[in-house]
Structure 1
Amino acid sequence: MECVCQMKELCITCFMLYVSHFHQVLKASNLNRRFAFVNPYVISGKCQTAGNSKSTLIARRFDDAKPDQLIFVPYNIGYHWVLLVIDLSSMIVYSLDSFYHGEINTSLKFGLRIYGITKGMNRKPIWQVVEGSRGNLEGNI
């Protein structure tokens, strides 16, 4: 909490603690079956993948999700956290980025592509910026 109050960069460990707490709140509300999470360390960190690419790990996580789950994908682009919410059934990716950068993690893009190919989906993901997530900034994808 100190990092948030003092406007310091949130490290992956701090963010994982927040996600863990959020998951416990969802579980207590019986909503945990509706959501799944991608570990931000896989995307943002220097994750050792034991021969697998980060994209492959992400695709496997998508494959493990249930069809009706929304996938929360938090990742850091350098002193700034972005949250993507992915509906795999419709292949819509919602971007919540208060300082819209237009940067989408390459491993994540390829992970979605790998997932789509393994599921026999011919459509590309639809990327949508959630209105209001950019604060007062203007812009479109």
Structure 2
Amino acid sequence: MFGRPKSIRLLREDIVRFMEMREIGARQILVYMGHLHKDLKKKDKADYFSFVDLGNIPTCPIGTDGRDLSQHIADQLEAVCRDNICLIPYNIRYHWILTIVNEDKNMIYLLDSTSNRIRDDTWKTIVTNGVKMYNASKGISKGPGFKILTGNLKQSGSVECGYCVMRYMKEMVDCDDPQLEKMVSFFLG
């Protein structure tokens, strides 16, 4: 799934937290990504979507210049991208967002389950620089476009963001039309 084998261990506490719809972490999202990847393989759509191992991308880049994180993203894209759509869940200041890299269109989308959230340009810069590094390794000089989307699936409280990110990923991989721009219509409501 990430271009290499990976095992994840869920603790009993992780499962209970998920069942009780409490705040979830990276382990639960990684397991869910594994489920989606297996489902994509069954449907023979695994070559169209890829997932970035969020365990290799440290969270909350506050106080750093972001070069190391951008390089992590470039390395992950190198390992998994094959002219497809790459999904990157990311936790920024205790809030999950979904970053979508459409390599074919050289476009980055950021999906957020809150409409009034203060945007953090640090993550945008880190992802954009990571894609630029990846593009440079492929001989592409044009920088990627960037678009922030507010999903029509809104969180009602303070802990649903992880569940919204999982739903966004599910809706994308379940979409029959492999055109990302048409999938995005789901998020715009």
Alignment TM class, shorter chain as reference: 0.7 to 0.9
Secondary structure of 1:36's counterpart equals strand
Question: Percent identity over the alignment?
Answer: 25
Which residue number corresponds to residue 108 of structure 2? 93
Partner secondary structure for residue 30 of structure 1: coil
Using the alignment, how far apart are the partners of 1:5 and 1:118 within structure 2? 43
Distance (Å, rounded) in 2 between the aligned partners of 1:12 and 1:132:
21
Residue 75 of structure 1 corresponds to 90
> How many angstroms apart in 1 are the aligned matches of 2:152 and 2:54?
20
Q: 1:66: which partner in 2?
A: 82
Q: Does the 8 A contact of 1:96 with 1:133 survive in 2? A: no
RMSD: 2.6
Q: Give the match for residue 120 of structure 2.
A: 103
Name the SS for the 2:47 alignment partner.
Answer: helix
Answering whether residue 41 of structure 2 is matched by residue 27 of structure 1, we say yes
Q: What is the CA distance between 1:29 and its match in structure 2?
A: 1.3
- Write the distance in 2 (CA, Å) between the matches of 1:15 and 1:38: 11
Q: How does 1:120-135 map to 2 (within 5 A)?
A: 120-133=139-152, 135=154
Q: 1:112 to 1:45 in 2, by over 3 A?
A: same
More helix by share: 2
Distance 1:30 1:15 in 2: 22
| Cα 1:115/1:34, change in 2 over 3 Å | same
Contact 2:57 2:72 (C-alpha < 8 Å) held by counterparts = no
Residues 10-56 of structure 1, C-alpha deviation per residue, up to 9 Å, x if partnerless? 1111111111111111111111111111111122459xxxxx93322
- With normalisation by structure 1, the TM-score equals 0.75
Could you tell me which of 80, 84, 91 is aligned with 2:99?
A: 84
Structure 2: 5+ residue stretches without partners = 1-14, 61-66, 156-189
Question: Which of 23, 39, 45 does residue 53 from structure 2 map onto?
Answer: 39
Question: TM-score, structure 2 length as denominator?
Answer: 0.58
Within the candidate set 110, 128, 131, 1:112 is matched to 131
Describe the superposition over 1:40-97 as per-residue Cα deviations: whole angstroms up to 9, x where unpaired. Answer: 1122459xxxxx9332232122223212x11011111133211111111221112111
User: Could you list the runs of 5+ residues in structure 1 that have no partner in the other structure?
Assistant: 47-51, 137-141
One-letter identity of the residue aligned with 1:29? K
Which AA in structure 2 matches 1:119? K
> Helix, strand or coil for the counterpart of 1:32?
coil
CA change 1:127–1:107 in 2 (3 A) is: closer
